[in-house]
């Protein structure tokens, strides 16, 4: 067999590769890779020769291009290189009772959300299931001695536009790495067919919908896929998801200065969220080179939260973890891009023009 990325080899392929070895070997190596997050060279329960051989036959898919740490070591962000030179990012966030890793599902993204660095850079390719799983494994290794408790599919890319591979990764993370599906959250921009498909899956993952606007005119501009799957259809699919799975839905809302942070925006959001029993996460927008509008000031974010709570919607303000290392969707890649195009700086104040881009 020629070399294949370790996490893109199936259990059967691994067994075939280990033909001639004792029968328990395949399980031993599989557990070593997934549950123990080891490279073959580190599997001290294998014969030395086999370790070296497997290390060559089952190389890592990800190579660390850059690693940045902040929050006193509590937040780690990687830029990983793939075999074809593509780049993806992964973020590890350690909190007192919880360690969360945020993984990418695509190199780039085709959804073109105006405010998102990944969307601004466009789509490169789908990640394989193994490339997704290996991000989790890398974080598991880095988090030690703590255990990674949660995985969020909120890095680069739209998970439901890479459905099969994302789902294969979910099954592998749940069944083999050992992080329960109840602690996995798939975030989507609102691909209705994908949400309906997810509702029919046997594993109960959490769903987060990136809403950002609760009227079609504004959402069409901020999140272009809304033109294909408008809010009415999205609400129906979300209701079907909640009904079928009994899982709590969360709604992500990037707070954009003067754009979607007014009391009237909160009223619309509450009308969308309340019938679904959804929990709202407010995230102050991170500035990106291609979208010169700022995040809402802290007082307005706090006011929005109060208003939503008053309207009966449970709301959390998401901490801007790792802000100083650009630990937000697509931010590291965005900096690399900006370095290539030095005039692509942030231009605060051009609010109206930015909104008219789409």
Q: From residue 76, give the alpha-carbon distance in Å to each of 6, 35, 88, 173, 225.
A: 23, 21, 14, 20, 31
Distance CA 356, CA 68 (A): 35
Q: Is 102 a catalytic residue?
A: no
What 3-state DSSP class applies to 183?
helix
- Considering only residues 79 to 98 of the shown chain, the ones binding ligand SF4 according to CB under 6 A are none
Please identify, among the stretches 30-38, 88-96, 129-137, 186-194, the one whose residues bind ligand SAH according to the rule CB under 6 A. 186-194
Binding mask 193-232 for ligand SF4 (x = CB under 6 A): -----------------x----------------------
Structure tokens at 219: 């959402």
Select 57 or 337, whichever has its Cβ closest to ligand SF4.
Answer: 337
Going 165 to 124 to 81 to 102, the CA torsion angle's sign is negative
Least gap, CB of 247 to ligand SAH (angstroms)? 16
Nearest to 34 by CA among 155, 133, 167: 133
Using the rule CB under 6 A, is 132 a contact of ligand SAH? no
Using the rule CB under 6 A, is 210 a contact of ligand SAH? yes
Exposed / middle / buried, residue 317 (Cβ in 10 Å: 0-12, 13-18, 19+): middle
Using the rule CB under 6 A, is 261 a contact of ligand SAH? no
What 3-state DSSP class applies to 91?
strand
Using the rule CB under 6 A, is 119 a contact of ligand SF4? yes
Q: From residue 259, give the alpha-carbon distance in Å to each of 31, 265, 294, 313.
A: 49, 9, 10, 20
Q: Which does 166 bind (CB under 5 to 8 A by kind): ligand SAH, ligand SF4, none?
A: none
Residue tagged active-site, from 102, 109, 113, 329:
329
Select 69 or 281, whichever has its Cβ closest to ligand SAH.
Answer: 281
Q: Where are the alpha helices (DSSP H) in the chain?
A: 11-17, 25-33, 48-57, 117-121, 129-143, 163-172, 192-199, 216-222, 231-245, 263-273, 298-310, 331-340, 351-355
Least gap, CB of 130 to ligand SAH (angstroms)? 20
Give Cα 346 to chain centroid, integer Å.
24
Residue of 142, 234, 283, 304 interacting with ligand SAH (CB under 6 A): 283
Binding mask 88-117 for ligand SAH (x = CB under 6 A): ---------------------------xx-
Residue of 92, 152, 179, 189 interacting with ligand SF4 (CB under 6 A): 189
Select 58 or 207, whichever has its Cβ closest to ligand SF4.
Answer: 207
Number of residues that bind ligand SF4 (CB under 6 A): 12
Residue tagged active-site, from 89, 131, 252, 307:
89
Could you tell me which residues come within 8 angstroms of residue 123 by beta carbon, excluding any fewer than 6 positions away? 106, 107, 108, 109, 110
Within the chain, how many helices (H) and strands (E) appear? 13, 12
- Considering only residues 331 to 350 of the shown chain, the ones binding ligand SAH according to CB under 6 A are none
Distance CA 153, CA 201 (A): 17
Residue of 109, 138, 186, 304 interacting with ligand SF4 (CB under 6 A): 109
Using the rule CB under 6 A, is 187 a contact of ligand SAH? yes
Q: Is 329 a catalytic residue?
A: yes
Structure tokens at 26: 């395949």
Give Cα 68 to chain centroid, integer Å.
18
Least gap, CB of 156 to ligand SAH (angstroms)? 7
Please name every residue paired with 291 in a beta bridge, in sequence order, or none if there are none: 288
Using the rule CB under 6 A, is 46 a contact of ligand SF4? no
Binding site for ligand SAH (CB under 6 A): 115-116, 154, 158, 187-189, 210, 252, 254, 283, 285-286, 288, 328-329
Binding site for ligand SF4 (CB under 6 A): 109, 111-113, 116, 118-119, 157-158, 189, 210, 329
Q: Hey, which residues are catalytic here?
A: 89, 329
């Amino acid at each position: 067999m020629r070399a294949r990325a370790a996490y893109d080899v199936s259990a059967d392929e691994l067994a075939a590769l280990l033909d001639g070895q004792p029968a328990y070997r395949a399980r031993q190596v599989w557990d070593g890779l997934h549950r123990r997050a080891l490279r073959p060279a580190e599997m001290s329960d294998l014969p030395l020769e086999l370790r070296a051989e497997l290390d060559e036959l089952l190389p890592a898919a990800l190579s660390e291009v850059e690693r940045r740490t902040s929050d006193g070591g509590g937040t780690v962000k990687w830029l990983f290189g793939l075999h074809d030179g593509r780049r993806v990012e992964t973020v590890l966030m350690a909190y007192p009772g919880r360690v969360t890793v945020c993984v990418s599902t695509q190199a780039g993204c085709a959804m073109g959300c105006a405010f998102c660095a990944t969307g601004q850079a466009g789509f490169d390719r789908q990640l394989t299931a193994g490339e997704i799983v290996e991000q989790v494994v890398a974080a598991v290794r880095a988090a030690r001695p703590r255990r990674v408790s949660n995985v969020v599919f909120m890095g680069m890319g739209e998970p439901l536009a890479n459905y099969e591979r994302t789902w294969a990764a979910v099954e592998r993370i749940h069944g083999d790495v050992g992080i329960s599906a109840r602690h996995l959250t798939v975030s989507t921009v609102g691909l209705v067919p994908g949400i309906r498909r997810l509702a029919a899956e046997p594993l109960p993952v959490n769903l987060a919908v990136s809403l950002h606007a609760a009227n079609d005119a504004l959402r069409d501009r901020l999140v272009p896929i809304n033109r294909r799957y408008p809010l009415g259809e999205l609400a129906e699919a979300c209701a079907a998801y909640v009904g079928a799975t009994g899982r709590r839905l969360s709604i992500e809302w990037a707070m954009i200065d003067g754009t979607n942070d007014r009391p009237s925006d909160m009223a619309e959001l509450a009308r969308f969220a309340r019938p679904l029993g959804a929990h709202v996460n407010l995230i102050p927008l991170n500035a990106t080179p291609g979208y010169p509008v700022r995040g809402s000031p802290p007082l307005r974010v706090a006011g929005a939260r109060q208003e939503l709570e008053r309207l009966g919607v449970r709301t959390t303000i998401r901490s801007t973890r790792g802000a100083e290392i650009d630990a937000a969707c697509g931010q590291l890649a965005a900096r690399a891009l900006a370095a290539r195009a030095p005039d692509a700086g942030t231009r605060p104040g051009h609010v109206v023009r930015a909104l008219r881009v789409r």
